[in-house]
A and B are shown apart, each in its own frame.
Chain A
Amino acid sequence: MKDFRYLEDVATLVLDEQKCIGCGLCTEVCPQAVFEMNENKARIVDFNACMECGACVNNCPVDAISVSPGVG
């Protein structure tokens, strides 16, 4: 979300672009528009907007994404 920003550089989001097959599902499920498609690969365009909800991790068909927040 562009209007609301939380603490920076704390998210545990990691995208392995090597594994990405470009299905685009992460761009679909992310509620904060963290990902964008670029030449058939997903890339992180707004890292600090990540709220570690895990929607992308759950739906990535090749396990290219991970988030590992603590207990919250």
Chain B
Amino acid sequence: MLEEKVGPSEMIVHLGPQHPMLPGPFRLNARLRGETVVDSEVEMGFIHKGIEKILENKTYLQGITIVDRICYLAALSNEEAYVGCVEKLAGIEVPERSQYIRVIVEELSRLQSHLLGMGEYASFVGFVSMFMYTIKEREDVLSLLDSITGARITHSFLRFGGVKDDLPAGFKDDVKRVFPNVRKAIDSYEDMYRTDAIYKARTVGVGVLTADIAKDLGVSGPPLRATGVPFDIRKDEPYLVYEDLDFKVCTEKAGDVYARIQVRLDEMRESMYIIEQCLDQIPEGPLFPENTPYGKRSPVMRIPAGEVYHRVEDPRGEMGFYMVSDGSDKPYRVKVRGPVYPTLQALPPLLKGVKVADIVAIAGSMDTCTSEVDR
């Protein structure tokens, strides 16, 4: 308990649960001596909605709608992890065309998530106008996503064995129209970050994680890759058609706040490159496997009993679902392993010894999504 340890000339500052720095409600209690953080503690659960219990009481198809809302910035990765679990348990093969469409929507989702996360971060360190720029590009990306799935945030797009809809007519032309602008915008963001003295003063050398400590803390995703560890589920445990696609795992060496943002910038470029490859390579064919009971609507389906752990690369790191089926039409137990959970947990050791002003810079650079931690 933080309160018991307060020494002379020390004080406790509570940030949150409602605080402009926080993307969702959580509370950060920091024990300060002067302006230095001596110790801190994260309090969670302000938007805990019991998704794991709800999933146990929904049929498999209904569950897709619920898992969408675990992390509202990466709904499609959540769906991929959930649907992948069911497909592994039931032994469903996804046709190649559907796999490509899934890769396209998931990478678009990564693109919009990073655009929002980066813009939000810029506003945390004092560049509110940057947020305006990134949101503008994000709306263009969202309109692409919207044209495929019909929704902006919560898509409910994947189905067991396929996807809900085919790509709309003219999608390739839309991509050709939007992506050059986004590329140009990302270059200009990078330019701003590289040249702005104030931004660099606030980020370079701040909140440094070394590779060993990051591994110990269980961190994954961009914060881990910024320390130089090329840990990416898309490469290490390929799912969908990622094996056939050419992309590199973006890493940086410094492990500080600046490096984390740089990793996200590079990943956005890679995502666009992946989508363009997919559009060139995507074969014609059916969306669902033939002769399968699991069609587009797959009313009531019973999944063979078994247990499976399936993980995918979320915009924030390793997203995994552990699913236990007892042979009925509802899962017996679903565990959601969110990527931000360990990242947020790693804040107190990271914040030890920093100045108060840097709390926002460090916590923001983790791109936390509280909804997914609380579930």
A and B interact physically: no
Query: Measuring CB to CB, which residues of chain A are less than 8 angstroms from any residue of chain B?
Result: none
Query: Measuring CB to CB, which residues of chain B are less than 8 angstroms from any residue of chain A?
Result: none
